[in-house]
Amino acid sequence: MQDIDYQGIKFSKFHGAGNDFVMINAINTQVVLTDEEVKEICDRRTGVGADGLIMVLPSEKYDFRMKYYNCDGHESTFCGNGGRCIAAFAVEERLAPQHLEYEAIDGVHKALVTKNSDNEYMVSVTMRDIDDYDLNDERLIVNTGSPHYVMRVQNLKTFDVRKHGAEIRNDKRISKDGINVDFMEIIHNQYHIRTFERGVEDETLACGTGVTASAVAAALWYGGDNIDIRTTLATLNVRFKKEGNSFKNVVLSGPAMHVFDGFYIFAK
């Protein structure tokens, strides 16, 4: 029998409101993964299973640098829940203090990590200022670190998110590079959303940049500066300071859960 050469990689799995990620500590060890390897790890049938993979990399000026991949294997724009989970992971790995700063593809983010139990954290992370958006009575197009299309709908619980999300995500008239799509409804005086994510090409249980985009939409349509958004599994909070048509000091807060640790082996 021919010997098999195994190459393995240590990881942790976290989720933020059901938005799940594979975390890799690459501060002291160089980790290079191909797009296909990232896709393999994230596969829900034959891999670990995740919406994305995040590496913690060294930074010259800040506590670390975040590198995010969607589960399709491609490096992507900022992920809000991933940005919260990676902060909790960094604190747990003793790579950063409770109050921390890190680099991401869209700039520098500050985070505050509070431990609730052995495997659960509450994490707040700063988001980018929002100065530019396209709004009408039915939808908002805005970049909150990733591009989002927020649409008001009825009967959200039975709404075909996959069908209508894919249509909008792939509409080149809206975005030539594709866009994430959030469907929002007010139910019992609370904002509820469901999100279709590009790169995952399906509905996810939550989306941090989508929650932020939906909070901006809610503020523009209904008012407010401290807004709770209910996703499938949890409620996330977005607060900000409104200055004219701009949103400043935007902070996304919510739970982050350490699910398990593992060692992923590639067979060659």
Active site residue 71: no
Query: Distance (Å, rounded) from C-alpha 139 to C-alpha 160?
Result: 17
42, 71, 85, 207: the catalytic one is 207
Catalytic residue from among 42, 71, 79, 85: 79
Backbone angles phi, psi at 241, to 5 degrees: -115, 125
Catalytic residue list contains 79 = yes
Show which residues are catalytic.
Answer: 79, 207
